[in-house]
Amino acid sequence: MNFTLTEEQEALRKLVRDFAMKEVAPSAAQRDEEEVFDRAIFNKMGRIGLTGIPWPEEYGGAGLDFVSYVIAVEELSRVCASTGVTLSAHLSLASWPIFKFGTEEQKQKYLRPLALGEKLGAYGLTEPSAGTDAASLRTTAVRDGDEYILNGTKMFTTNGGEADIYVVFATTDASKKAKGVTAFIVEKGMPGFTFGKKEKKMGIRSSPTVELIFDQCRVPMANVLGEEGQGFKIAMMTLDGGRNGIAAQALGIASGALDAALEYAKTRTQFNRPITDFQAIQFKLADMAKQVEAARLLTYQAAWLEDNQLPYGKASAMAKVFASDAAMYVTTEAVQIHGGYGFTRDYAVERFMRDAKITQIYEGTNEVQRIVIAGHVLKD
């Protein structure tokens, strides 16, 4: 057992922390306030290689591992959870299934520009009436010659509208339920593919969450990802790993909130003493620190399992539930330590607390994660 990061992983953390402080943090509060996505930040992430961390160099990646990837999402989320989820959705949800199930041609055409950060990716599974029950999709794909015609609506798509490449799930045979789902790679600009409502959200407000509308959208057969009918499996396997990206995002939010609370508590004085002299504050900080540390270990472990080609579904579900609950707890306590100031938008902990909530909901609610964990525990 070895809990030490490699020299490369340490260098990556330092780089991403420096990048996050200089390029992401300064505009985070304003982007949140104005609910704007800044593509320039994503482009800069592409230039240093963050957009393709675990993919081999032949596909435009940096050739690093998944531990490096979760460290990067953690460090970005420490200052801006919206930027963290932009990367997580781009890499775990859009790029991963293309890397895993794409043909060589699809990898060169789609994975490569995604990895280089020239293109931004998104993932369209959720529908108005198919959230947790993902097999009951209503978006249809009907074969017509060398093409499929897609019709339907996807909602809550992270990076939606801004992304160039979408991995979209539609049913090619509704009678087969889950086994009738097929995955497609759809490009922004394909006729019949438009964007609908942009959600007004509580948190992660500089990450766009948008409706995708398919109206007689023709997608070439060459854009089927995997095989016809394999879509549900692809969707679920993608979420298995994707949820560890969310664990990393939650971990980053919690870690950022803990740091902010520590800094505030050290400088805030009441009754002529810094409030860190009071045991009530010390106990809060101790509990927050242990939650952050445990979340980190679970998240890194799940990534390590994936790097070592070991089963990671259970570990990533545990990491996701634990880290997101930790994020909600730590950010709430961070606001509490800040007192009235923490409730104002002048302090980052207010944003962190709003950002934390979604991590308990998306990429499989924490209730679903518990079903996944229970399934593993009962089977093992």
Partner 1 sequence: MNIIVCIKQTFDTEAKISLENGAVKEDGVQFILNPYDEYAVEEALKIKEEQGGEVTVVTVGPARVEEAIRTALAMGADEAIHIEDEAAYGDEYTIAEVLAAAIRQKSYDLILAGNQAVDDGSGQVAVRLAQLLDIAHISTITKLEIHGTQVVAERDAEGDTEIAEASLPVLVTAQQGLNEPRYPSLIGIRKASKKPLTKLTLADLGLSADAVGRKVTPVEVFLPAAKGAGRILEGDTAMRVQELVRELRQTSKVL
Containing 197, the helix (H) or strand (E) segment is strand 193-198
Six-digit token string for 24: 């992401």
- Per rule CB under 8 A, is residue 71 in the interface with partner 1? no
Separation of alpha carbons 160 and 205, rounded Å:
13
Q: Which of 30, 40, 47, 346 binds partner 1 (CB under 8 A)?
A: 47
Nearest 10 degrees: CA dihedral of 164, 165, 166, 172?
130
Q: Smallest distance from the beta carbon of 57 to partner 1, in angstroms?
A: 7
Q: Which of 8, 33, 144, 215 binds partner 1 (CB under 8 A)?
A: 8
Q: Smallest distance from the beta carbon of 306 to partner 1, in angstroms?
A: 18
Q: Which of 53, 79, 163, 234 binds partner 1 (CB under 8 A)?
A: 53
Q: Smallest distance from the beta carbon of 63 to partner 1, in angstroms?
A: 6
Active-site residue, 363 included: yes
- Per rule CB under 8 A, is residue 263 in the interface with partner 1? no
- Per rule CB under 8 A, is residue 40 in the interface with partner 1? no
| Residues 220-249 within binding reach of partner 1 (CB under 8 A) | none
- Per rule CB under 8 A, is residue 7 in the interface with partner 1? yes
- Per rule CB under 8 A, is residue 149 in the interface with partner 1? no
Helices (H), 125-207: none
Instruction: Identify which of residues 171 and 255 has a Cβ nearer to partner 1 in the complex.
Output: 255
- Per rule CB under 8 A, is residue 272 in the interface with partner 1? no
Residue 148 backbone dihedrals phi, psi, to 5 degrees: -115, 145
Q: Smallest distance from the beta carbon of 295 to partner 1, in angstroms?
A: 23
| Residues 170-199 within binding reach of partner 1 (CB under 8 A) | none
Interface map 273-302 toward partner 1 (x if CB under 8 A): ------------------------------
Judged by CB under 8 A, the number of residues near partner 1 is 17
Neighbours of 33 (CB within 10 A): 12
Whole-Å CA distances, 129 to 132, 155, 199, 211, 347: 9, 10, 16, 13, 37
Q: Which of 341, 132, 352 is nearest to 239 (CA)?
A: 132
Neighbours of 369 (CB within 10 A): 24
Separation of alpha carbons 165 and 267, rounded Å:
47
List 23, 75, 127, 363, catalytic entry: 363
Please work out, in degrees rounded to the nearest 5, the angle formed at the alpha carbon of residue 359 by the alpha carbons of 353 and 360: 100
Contact between 52 and 61 under an 8 Å Cβ cutoff? The reply is: yes
> Which residues are marked as active site?
363
**Which residues are near partner 1 by CB under 8 A?**
7-8, 11-12, 15, 18-19, 47-50, 53, 57, 62-64, 68
